[in-house]
Structure 1
Amino acid sequence: MDLNRRNLVKLGLGLSAISAIPGCGDDSGSSSGGAPEPGGTLRIGAIGKSSKTERDPYATISNESDFLIMSLIYDPLTVPGNEPNVAPRLASKWESDAEQRNWTFTIAEGAAFHDGRPVTSDDVVWSLRTLREVAGETKVPVASVNDINSAGPNAVVLTTAGPNSQLPLLLRLMTFVVPEGTTDHSKGIGSGPFELESYTNGNARLVRNDKWHGGAPLLDAIEVTLFESPESMANAVMAGQIDVASSVGAVAGRTAESRGDLQVIRRPNDVAVVIAMRTSDGPFADPRVRAALRLGVDREGMVAQVLSGYGAVANDVLGTGDPTYDTALSQRERDVDRARQLLADAKFDTGKTYPLVTKAEAAGEVESAKVFARQVEDIGVKLEVVVQEANAFYDETWLKAPLYTVNWGTNDSVMFYASKVLTSRTKWNETNFKDEAFDKAYTDALAAPAGAKFTEASKAIQKIQYDRGGYIVWGMADGIDVASTAVRDLPKLGGYGRVQLERVWLSS
C-alpha cells in the first residue's frame, strides 16, 4: 500500500489499530438527502442456488444469499472499510508486538449474543479454532489451533508462524463468532446487528437487534430472497417485488437507468470474473501455453461485450484495487502471431478441442467463456464451452479441471488473493499453483515493514503472477446494485463491503 501514517491501520500494518465504533469506517452510503428515518422492512435479493444453501458459518459458503444473511447475524472480528480499509466489528481494536507475530484483538464493549449472553474470549477462541480446523490457514493464517488463545475475558491472541503485518486484513469477514460449543446453527445465534427470525430454503427474515454493540440499526427488518439467476432477480426489482437487487449485473443496470423509480449503485473495479488454468499438469501446465492464451484475449472486446462497458481492462493480476497495484507492468495487448509462435514452441496440440467449464453464477460469467472461446480460435486453440450446474461445478470441476471460469465478488488486496488462492498452502488454490519463488515472495511481504519495503514485496508477488501464474484476469466488472429510490445509504464499498446493511434506511 502507499503506506503513510493515515494508512497504517489500512491493512493492519501498524502496531495498533485505533478504536472506532463498528461499521463507522466504511463510508457505506450515498448522500441521503435528509435525516435517516427509522422503521420499515428492506426486501433484498441475492444470488444463490437452493441446492447449495448453507447454515454453518464455518463451511464453504457459495451462495451470496447465505453470506449476506450470515454477515448480518454474526459478527466477524474485522470488516472492510474505506479509510482505513480494515474496520472494527466484534474486535474494537487490535495491536501486535514489535515482531508482528502476536496479535491481540479486544472484544467490543457491550458485545452480546442474541440470547443475551455476553461475548467472551472463550467464545472467540472456540470459534476461531473451529474455523481453523475446518478451513485451515486459508481463513485463519496461524500454524495450529494452539496459536489461538485467550488473553483475559475480553481479548484473544493469535500467534503467527512468522511476522505477519496483514493479519487484521486476512481475517476480514472470515471470522464469524458463535457461542462456545455451538454445533447446531439452525437458530443462527450471533452477536450481529440483526437477529434471525425465520429461514426457509435460502430465504430469511431478520429483525433488528436493538442491543447491538455498534448501535441499533434503523430498519425494523430485512427480508433476504434467494434468486437462482441475475435475470430473475432483475425482473423482481423491476416489478417492485424486492427493494434491492444485489450484484445484478450490467444489463439490468442499463435498463434501470431509464427508470425514474429506480437507482443504480455502481462500484467501479469490483468483481473479478476470470479464467483459471491448471498449472501443475495437463494441457496448460507449460507457461508458454498460458502466455499464449493471455495474448489471445481481446480485453477491450471482452469488457465491451461481456460487461456492456461497465468495467475496465485488467492485466492478469488479482487485486487491482490495491494501492500497491503495479501499474508499471506492461499492459498486455492482443498479439495473435506471438501467441501462435508460443504454442508452436510448446508443441501444444491445436488439433484437439479442450473443454472450458463455466456456470451461470456471476452476471456475465457464461458469456465471458463464450466470447473468450471465440477469440482464441484466432490463435488456433479450440475450446468447447461446457455450462455446468453449480453443484456439479463445485463437486467435479473447481480445483480439479484444466480450464474453467471463476468469480470473486470482491476486489480485495494483492495479499488477500495471495493468501486465499495462490500460495501452495491454501486449500483454495484454484490453479494448483505451486511456486517456491511465489511462496517466498508472499512470506517476505508478510514480514515487510510498512512503506517502500512492503510495496516492493507486493510488486514482487504481482510480477510472478503476471509472468507465470494460472489466471487470465482480462477485466474487472463494476459491481451493480439496482434499488428503489426509497432505499437510502446502501453501501458503496466494493466486494464484501456491500453486505454491511446496518445503516441502510427507507425514506417515506
Structure 2
Amino acid sequence: MNTETSHLTRRQFLGALGAGAAAVAGGGLLAACGSTASSAPGSGTSPTSALAGTPKRGGTLQVGLSGGSSSDTLNALNPLQSTDFARTLSLFEQLTIYGPTGALQYLLAEQITPNATATQWTIHLRPGVTWHDGKDLTADDVIYTFQRITDPKSPTGGAPLLQRVDVAGMKKLDAHTVLVPCHAPYSTFPEAIAGWYFNIVPQGYDPSHPPAHPVGTGPFKFKSFTPGVQSVFVRNENYWQSPYPYLDTLVLSDYGDESSQVNALLSGSVDVIDLLSAASIATIANGGKKTLISNTSGFTPLYMRCDQPPFDDVRVRQAMRLCCDRPEMLKLVFAGHGSLGNDIYDYADPAYDHSIPQRHQDIEQAKYLLKQAGKENLEVTLTTAPIAQGTVQQATVFAQQAGLAGAKIHLDLTTPAVEFGPQYAKFTFAQDYVIYATYLTQIALSGLPTSPFPETHFSEPAYTALYNQALATVDQGKRYEIEHEMQRIDWERGGNIIPYFYPTIDGYAGHVNGLHTSVTGWPLGGFDFKAMWVS
C-alpha cells in the first residue's frame, strides 16, 4: 500500500456501522465510456417499479433512516455511516455514478475521454452547474477535490482508487476541462471515480474540519443538522438537472432499531424507511403500507485467507464452497429475495461472465476434497458480526451446511468495530460487506496482494498480470475477455464464498411516489430523494 492509503482504515472506507449508504441514481443521464445498461440481478428490479402518475412539486418528505449516532457527519469526502451517505449525497455530487442498473453514467462530468493508451484522461465538466452559493463549478474545484482525497497526511475514502493517478500533475485546460495524467494505464478510471467517496467539493473545503453549513451542487441545500437525531434540507431552486427535485423539504431522521422504524411508518410519523429485514414485510403490508424490494449486486462474502492453513490448500477452499446450499441460505436469510452468487464479484457488471457454471451444493465432493487434503475432521473459526443485513444469520446457516461434510465451523460473534478494526483482513475466516462496483474496481480494492483491503490474500503472478493487462486495454470487448479469464481463476482457486447478492427492502406510505429500485446495494433507489414526490 502506498502512503496515500497508509492511514485509511476499512471502517473509514466502508462506513462499517451497518448496511447502507448511497449512490445517487441519476435518472435520465447518458451512459458513459461505452458502458451499456445491464439488467438487474433477479426479477422485480425495474428502476421505475414504484413510479406513479405525474410528479407534483412541493411538500415535505419525512425519512426514517436505519442507524446514526452522535458521530454522524456531513463530511462529503469521508462519510462513515449509512445516514452520513444519505445526507452527503443529497448535498453533493460526483463526476460519474453507477445508475440503478449498475451502468456507468455521467453526472457532473459531461464527458471523460482517454488517450490511446489510457495513461491520460480528459474530464469535460457539465457547463451551467453552480454551487449552492451561486458560484460556478470549475476545473479548479475538481483538481482541489482530488488533492484533498489523496492528501498523504489525511487520505479520505477515495484514495485507494487514485493510486494510479498523477494527482500532482493534473492540469486545468480551461474553466470546464481537466487533464488527468496517470502513473500507469488506467482504462477503468471513469468507473473507479464512480465510487461513493468522490463527491466534488468547492475550493477551500477541509474534510478534516468540514463546514457546519456545507455548500454543494446537489438537489438539496442545507438547513439544519443535529447529529444522531435529524437533518433538514430544502430544495435547490437552481439545480442543474431540471425538473428535479420535486420536494420543498427533505427531513432525515435517525432510528436505532428496525421496530422503531416500522412503528414510525405505520403511525405516519415518517413516510419512508430503509434497510429492513424480510420479517418486516408482512407487518408493513398488514399496516396498509408498501414495500419496495431491490435485488442488488451488493454481497456479503465469507472470505478465506489463501496464505494460511487450512485455506492455503485450494481443495479446502473448494470444499467449503461446495458445502454451501445457496438457495436454502437465501431462503432462510432473506425469505428468497435476492440473487444467487457464484463466488465471483459484481453480478450487475456487464463484464460478469454468466457462462461460468453455477456452483451447487455437493456434500460428497466436499467430503472427498477434505479427505484428499487431510482435513476430513476440519475445525475452523468463522468470525462474524452484524456488519450488514443478514450476516450473522448467513454465518449460522453456513456452519450448519458445512457440518454435513463433517466440518466444524465455530462462530466467533463479535461487533462491527472488531470485524472492521485493526484485525480486518487478518482473520483466517471472516465476513465483509461490499457495495456494487465494477469487477476491476473491486479487484483493485481487495483482490491483489497490493490492494488496501486484501481480505483473502490471494496471490498469483499470472492473475496480477491479467489485471494490469486489463487496465492497459482501452477496447472494452477485449478487456471483458481478460476479465473473464480472471473470473475463471476466481471461481476455480479464489478465496471468496459469495453465496448470494443481497436484496434491499424499503417501506413507504402510499402517498410517496418516485421510488425506484437499484442494484447498487444502497436503499431507497440509492437514496435518490430528488426523484421522490408526495401526492
Task: Give the TM bin, normalised by the shorter chain.
Answer: 0.7 to 0.9
Question: Per-residue CA shift, 1:51-97, capped at 9, x if unaligned?
Answer: 663443333x4411111211111111111225892222221222222
Between the aligned partners of 1:231 and 1:350, the Cα distance in structure 2 is 42
SS at match of 1:151: strand
- Cα displacement (A) at 1:50: 2.1
1:81-480 aligned at under 5 Å gives the runs 81=99, 85-133=103-151, 134=155, 135=157, 138-172=160-194, 173-183=196-206, 184-185=209-210, 186-202=212-228, 203-215=230-242, 216-259=244-287, 261-348=288-375, 350=377, 352=379, 354-410=380-436, 412-480=437-505
SS at match of 2:301: strand
For 1:368, give the aligned amino acid. Answer: Q
Between the aligned partners of 2:434 and 2:193, the Cα distance in structure 1 is 17
SS at match of 2:84: helix
- Cα displacement (A) at 1:382: 1.9
TM-score by length of 2: 0.83
Between the aligned partners of 1:455 and 1:237, the Cα distance in structure 2 is 44
For 2:413, give the aligned amino acid. Answer: V
- Cα displacement (A) at 1:463: 1.0
Alignment partner of 1:483 is 2:508: yes
Unaligned runs of 5+ in 1: 1-8, 18-25
Task: Quote the residue 1:23 is aligned against.
Answer: none
8 Å CA contact 2:117–2:474 kept in 1: the answer is no
Q: CA RMSD of the aligned region, Å?
A: 2.7
Change (3 A) 1:346 1:144: farther
SS at match of 2:150: helix
Change (3 A) 1:275 1:241: farther
Question: Per-residue CA shift, 1:367-400, capped at 9, x if unaligned?
Answer: 1111111111122222232332322332144322
Question: How many residue pairs get matched?
Answer: 485
Between the aligned partners of 2:308 and 2:158, the Cα distance in structure 1 is 25
SS at match of 2:487: helix
Task: Quote the residue 1:3 is aligned against.
Answer: none
Between the aligned partners of 1:303 and 1:27, the Cα distance in structure 2 is 21
- 2:75 corresponds to which of 44, 56, 74: 56
Between the aligned partners of 2:377 and 2:255, the Cα distance in structure 1 is 40
Change (3 A) 1:116 1:426: farther
- Cα displacement (A) at 1:28: 5.2
SS at match of 2:318: helix
Task: Quote the residue 1:76 is aligned against.
Answer: 94
8 Å CA contact 2:101–2:518 kept in 1: the answer is no
Change (3 A) 1:170 1:315: same
Task: Quote the residue 1:37 is aligned against.
Answer: 56
SS at match of 2:331: helix
Task: Quote the residue 1:67 is aligned against.
Answer: 85
8 Å CA contact 1:488–1:506 kept in 2: the answer is yes
Identity %: 26
Question: Per-residue CA shift, 1:261-312, capped at 9, x if unaligned?
Answer: 3222222244312212222335423322211111111112101111111122
Change (3 A) 1:499 1:139: farther
8 Å CA contact 1:273–1:405 kept in 2: the answer is yes
- 1:12 corresponds to which of 20, 23, 33: 33
TM-score by length of 1: 0.87
Change (3 A) 1:277 1:228: farther
8 Å CA contact 2:50–2:516 kept in 1: the answer is no
SS at match of 1:330: coil
Unaligned runs of 5+ in 2: 1-29, 37-44
- Cα displacement (A) at 1:166: 2.0
SS at match of 1:123: helix
8 Å CA contact 1:448–1:457 kept in 2: the answer is no
